[in-house]
Structure 1
Amino acid sequence: MYITITDGNDVYEYALEFQTIFDKEIAVRVFRYSFERAVKLADYSNAKESIKLKMPEPYIILIEEIEGVKDTIKLEMEFGKGVIFNYDIKVLKYWTYDLKKLYNENMYLLYPLQIFKLRKKMNEVSYSKKPEEIKKFEMFRLYDEMNIVIENLNSYFMNMYGKYRDFDLEVESMVKSFYDPRIEEKGIEKAKFDVAQNMLIDGESEEKIKKYTGVSDKDIAEIKKLIEARGKH
């Protein structure tokens, strides 16, 4: 994948390689793609004397966690007479990024990749030996995170293309910012209270509920009142 960014008279081009796993040929592959791109855009205006090739800046974006990978992978190339050229490829360790960090570093276009991270977490929760109520709570939280990714991605495109006038006020409010921590907090709190309520109904101890959900004594008292009120209707 290639991205071209224009800043006034300056043009920057990046070659991006996305990987969920690491393989030993990835650096060679990135170099080959970048070289092919440079050849395609080569400057032949002075071909009898020299040909100019401009290589895009290379990045490998590793989506899932891989141990032992450095921040830069070096491709060492040896030309005739022992001339050595090092081609450095930067590695972006995507698993270290959340929505807030992507937002702060202006990496809006990488929002959708959060879905891959969430998929892996969901699989881990699904196959874990945790109590079912805890699994349910964690799944709720991950589902909310997935919705946040989608909402913030919508926000990016809405802000970029100025389409707010085509949406009603409710949708406009939902996608009003790239990253709104209040949306995240609200979703997590709701999931937490839902699980605490279900655990109370199932007869779990208050200490266990506080341990697994993080709710306070005051929260539990409020949830009990809510359960009692519903039972009277």
Structure 2
Amino acid sequence: MSISNEKVKLDEVLKFLFSTSKKVLVNLLNGIFQENYSSDQVKLSVSNNEFVMDTFDTLRGDVFFDILNSESDKISYHLEFQTRNDSTMVIRMFEYGLRKAKEQSRNNDDFRTIFFPKQKVIFFEENRNIMDIIKLKIVLPSGESFLYSVPVMKYWEYSDKKLLEDKMYPLLPLQLFNLRRELEQYKRKNDIKKINELSIKAKEIAEKIANESKELFEKNEIIGEDFHKMLLAIQNLIEYLNRNYFNDEKIEEEVIRVTKTLFDPEVEKRKAIEIAKNLLDILDNETIALKTGLELEEVIKLRNAMQTKVSKYML
């Protein structure tokens, strides 16, 4: 299995996960960059990640975001995702940062100013040689020099509990990718027993992350579309691990069955709740329960919550 194939699969999954709702992405940036943005007070947009070189080749970064709020100018953020250690990574980060900075340059009477984005590299596969900060010393012809540095996030140090605490929800499904290094080692040794043990562990992780995603959905931390994308990411990662290591069709079928069982009823229930909200002013509780399929107690609870909300607003 080549590194390029790993990168392709990771890119496919992250494409799902980094196209989640605004609230989820703002929380994610807060967690990764230790910011404190409120999703209802800022504007967030995905910005250009392709830069045409002088050779007409295209330089592509992974993800760029722009944040705009009432208290500051636009702030750009840049994330790169890396599976393995790479000594040239810091040079590429400088190139990406410089290209993005040139897009946001400003003229002054005496000079031109460019604005580098805030950057971070997320390394997914454990390696003791990966430092907390990657650095590049830039020496000018005059002999003057300056140090360019980019902080690193070591994904393998984050448990699902820590990701939940820091509200980095889109990164939850990547807990499955933590198994890849061990699986590669046992594959080289042809240790079928260990691979089978890790296949069971993978299924357990998939089900755990799926259930945690469901809880986030129930608590309104993520919306239905986010929930769906996280489950799709889980399915894709299980498929990737299975096709490369497990070769067991049952594991894919079981994970798909679990995720489908979680998603379909929850989405239907959320739709029923939205319908019930629109009927509160025109129908009694029993009729609403009959028409939506909700339990009578749920309708009563919903009505009480809506009345409390209105009362607080009137006050």
Is TM > 0.5 for Structure 1 vs Structure 2?
Answer: yes
Cα distance between partner residues in 2 of 1:90 and 1:121: 26
Q: Does 1:168 align with 2:265?
A: yes
- 1:192-231 to 2 correspondences below 5 Å: none
AA aligned opposite 1:94:
Y
AA aligned opposite 1:4:
D
Give a deviation string over 1:29-72, Cα, whole Å, max 9, x none: 0010011001112224x4x5332211112211111011222211
**Corresponding position of 2:299:** none
Compare 9-18 and 54-63 and name the one that shifted more. 9-18
Cα distance between partner residues in 2 of 1:51 and 1:153: 47
Q: Does 1:144 align with 2:196?
A: no
Instruction: State whether residues 176 and 202 of structure 2, in contact with CA within 8 Å, keep that contact through their aligned partners in structure 1.
Output: no
* Structure 2 portions without partners, runs of 5+: 1-62, 228-262, 271-315
Higher relative contact order (CA 8 A, sep 6+): 2
Cα distance between partner residues in 2 of 1:58 and 1:93: 14
**Cα distance change, pair 125–40 in 1 and its aligned pair in 2 (3 A):** same
TM-score of the two chains, using structure 2 as the length reference? 0.45
Candidates 84, 87, 95, aligned match of 1:32: 95
Candidates 65, 75, 99, aligned match of 1:3: 65
AA aligned opposite 2:203:
Y
Give how far 1:131 is off: 8.6
**Cα distance change, pair 153–5 in 1 and its aligned pair in 2 (3 A):** farther
**Corresponding position of 2:160:** 99
AA aligned opposite 1:42:
S
Instruction: State whether residues 183 and 195 of structure 2, in contact with CA within 8 Å, keep that contact through their aligned partners in structure 1.
Output: no
AA aligned opposite 1:50:
F
Corresponding residue SS for 1:66:
coil
Instruction: State whether residues 15 and 30 of structure 1, in contact with CA within 8 Å, keep that contact through their aligned partners in structure 2.
Output: no
Instruction: State whether residues 186 and 192 of structure 2, in contact with CA within 8 Å, keep that contact through their aligned partners in structure 1.
Output: no
* Structure 1 portions without partners, runs of 5+: 174-233
Candidates 86, 106, 113, aligned match of 1:43: 106
**Corresponding position of 2:114:** 53
TM-score of the two chains, using structure 1 as the length reference? 0.58
Give how far 1:169 is off: 4.5
Instruction: State whether residues 27 and 75 of structure 1, in contact with CA within 8 Å, keep that contact through their aligned partners in structure 2.
Output: yes
Instruction: State whether residues 82 and 122 of structure 2, in contact with CA within 8 Å, keep that contact through their aligned partners in structure 1.
Output: yes
- 1:121-160 to 2 correspondences below 5 Å: 121-124=182-185, 132=193, 136-153=196-213, 159-160=221-222
Instruction: State whether residues 39 and 53 of structure 1, in contact with CA within 8 Å, keep that contact through their aligned partners in structure 2.
Output: yes
Instruction: State whether residues 122 and 142 of structure 1, in contact with CA within 8 Å, keep that contact through their aligned partners in structure 2.
Output: no
**RMSD in angstroms over aligned alpha carbons?**
3.4
Give how far 1:117 is off: 1.4
Corresponding residue SS for 1:81:
coil
Cα distance between partner residues in 2 of 1:66 and 1:43: 40
Give how far 1:170 is off: 8.2
Identity percentage over the alignment?
A: 25
AA aligned opposite 2:174:
L
Give how far 1:86 is off: 0.8
**Corresponding position of 1:188:** none
Cα distance between partner residues in 1 of 2:136 and 2:123: 17
Corresponding residue SS for 2:206:
helix
